[in-house]
Amino acid sequence: QLDISWYTESMGMGRPVDIQDRHQLQVRAEPRPIAMVTTLNGYACQRRTPLQHHNAVLTDALLVLAEKAEFSENEGRSVALRAASVLKALPHTVINMENLQGLPCLGEHSQRVIKEILEDGKSREVEAALHSEQYQAMKALTGIFGVGVKTADRWFREGLRHPSDVASSGHRLNHTQQAGIQHYDDLNMPVTKAEADAIGQIVKEAVQAVLPGAEIILTGGFRRGKPTGHDVDFLITHPEEGKEEGLMPKVVSWLEARGLLLYQKTNRNSYLEATEGSARPPNNMDRFERSFSIFRLDMPGAGPERHPQAALLEQAQDDSSVGGRRVGESWDWKAVRVDLVVTPFSQFAFALLGWTGSQLFERELRRWAGQEKHMSLSSHALYDSKQKRYLRASCEEEIFAHLGLEFIPPCERNA
């Protein structure tokens, strides 16, 4: 899937070089500007995308533009995300526009931004976005758990800029948003792998206590090898199909009885294969028995050193109820967003694939299935529209095989 046409020792500088040039180079046998021509497949699910890549300066810029587009609800978001994703899969640093030849998903807009950064070190459009009041306010307001772009945009138009403005605005907030405001600082601090593992131990204990033999697995970004995340995602299942039914309320009660949950909202499983056929649910993430929660993770001995924002908060003496703790309060626990999902064993492989991400990798898998294979993929099942039947799978490898795709391990799904 990856074809590095050719390159010589000192990468970069040149234009793509054809066979004749190459011959001349060899004849002259002198160091020459390099051509690095790489071709990549058009779907992110056909590419290997590692966590660490060579073009962070460019992808960071494109991701700001994706965010800016998201805040104004235009489709530029997916365009910029796809462009960034292609650069993440490149095995080398882009240093000139020729390096982009033959690459998919790089439209005129993305190329303009890349060119500017290569020439001037930065993009005016990205700088303007980062400094704009709208971008900063939307970023802060959508950073509240339970607040989406629509609500944030309405608040922005009313003159609100920051969670503290919302808290003092007198707006009626739902329970999720109240929790989001209350734990704003903690929830905007990255969750570390160590914290995710600590929560994993707690969830494991809870699950084992209420249903012996049940299994839990850490999914989402941490399964892809990310060192931090915005939340912790777990899948729970039991090898005996049916045993998992009704598990979530019991797990939640166990956790609540021990004071480990600061907030939780459970959705029932609303997926019914037989009656729904191949219909693709509008949002296939919402149909398992799923609990969105905020854990209270004990952090023994934690002080401002381990909780860097504590120092900042202490400076903000006059701040109101936003954030979590007032000056002088202890920092021995941290609020952490956790998603728990219960899946029947027969759907486990699909759930695992669907919840491992990245979000773009998932979107591209579904696009590939629909457009290239006349299949419909969700986190529950894979339906073949030509054969008019569901295709079963007991592991991720089988799903890739059904889709006619080379298997990509989780650590290379960071599209």
Which residues participate in catalysis according to the annotation? Answer: 231, 233, 339
Residues 235-274, one symbol each (x = binds ligand DCT by CB under 6 A, - = not), give ----------------------------------------
Tokens at 413, concatenated: 């799904």
Q: Is the bond leading into 358 cis (omega within 30 degrees of zero)? A: yes
Contact call for residues 183 and 190 (beta carbons, < 8 A): no
* 231 labelled binding-site residue: yes
Q: How far apart are CA 141 and CA 70, in angstroms?
A: 13
Interface with ligand DCT, residue 230, by CB under 6 A = yes
* Binding at 180: pick from Mg ion, ligand DCT, none (beta carbon under 5-8 Å per type): none
Using CA atoms, how far apart are residues 175 and 179, in angstroms rounded to an integer? 6
Of 224 and 238, the one with the shorter C-beta distance to ligand DCT is 224
> Quick check: helix, strand or coil at residue 163?
helix
Which residues partner with 376 through β-bridges?
383
339 annotated ligand-binding residue: yes
Q: Which residue has the tokens 């303009």?
A: 112
The mark string for 273-312 relative to ligand DCT (x by CB under 6 A, - otherwise) is: ------------x---------------------------
CA 334 to chain centre: 22
Distance from C-alpha of 167 to C-alpha of 182, rounded to nearest angstrom: 9
Q: How far is CA 71 from the centre of its chain?
A: 17
Nearer to ligand DCT, 180 or 220 (CB): 220
**Angle of helix 76-88 relative to helix 359-373, nearest 10 degrees?**
100
Q: Is 354 in the site for Mg ion (CB under 5 A)?
A: no
The beta strand positions in 332-401, using DSSP E, are 333-342, 375-377, 382-384, 389-391
Burial class from Cβ neighbours inside 10 Å (0-12, 13-18, 19+) for residue 5 reads middle
Question: Rule CB under 6 A: is residue 229 a binding residue for ligand DCT?
Answer: yes
**Burial (CB count <10 Å: 0-12, 13-18, 19+), residue 104:** middle
Q: Which of 231, 244, 289, 396 binds ligand DCT (CB under 6 A)?
A: 231
Q: Nearer Cβ to ligand DCT, position 100 or 147?
A: 147
Burial of 192 from C-beta contacts in 10 A (0-12 / 13-18 / 19+): middle
Q: Is 324 in the site for Mg ion (CB under 5 A)?
A: no
Task: Check: CB of residue 342 under 8 Å from CB of residue 237.
Answer: yes
Q: Which of 208, 241, 235 is nearest to 289 (CA)?
A: 235
Q: What is the per-residue binding string for Mg ion in 202-241, x denoting contact by CB under 5 A?
A: ------------------xx-------x-x-x--------
Q: Is 98 in the site for Mg ion (CB under 5 A)?
A: no
**Of residues 336 and 365, the one with the C-beta less far from Mg ion:** 336
Residue 125: both structure tokens together: 């459009």
Size of the site for ligand DCT (CB under 6 A): 13
Name the one range near ligand DCT by CB under 6 A: 98-106, 224-232, 249-257, 300-308. 224-232
14 or 221: CB nearest Mg ion? 221
Residue 249 in tokens:
């309320």
Closest approach, Cβ 191 to Mg ion, in A, equals 8
CB-nearer residue toward ligand DCT: 45 or 103: 45
Nearest by Cα to 230 from 337, 322, 147:
337
Least separation in angstroms between residue 309's CB and ligand DCT is 18
Binding-residue total with Mg ion (CB under 5 A):
5
- 357's contact among ligand DCT, Mg ion, none, with CB below 5 to 8 A by partner kind, is ligand DCT
Per-residue tokens: 150: 């629509």
Residue 233 marked as a ligand binder: yes
Site for ligand DCT in 313-372 (CB under 6 A): 355, 357-359, 362
Q: Which residues bind ligand DCT (CB under 6 A)?
A: 220-221, 226, 229-231, 233, 285, 355, 357-359, 362
Residue numbering of the annotated binding site for Mg(2+): 231, 233, 339
Residue numbering of the annotated binding site: 231, 233, 339
Q: Which residues bind Mg ion (CB under 5 A)?
A: 220-221, 229, 231, 233
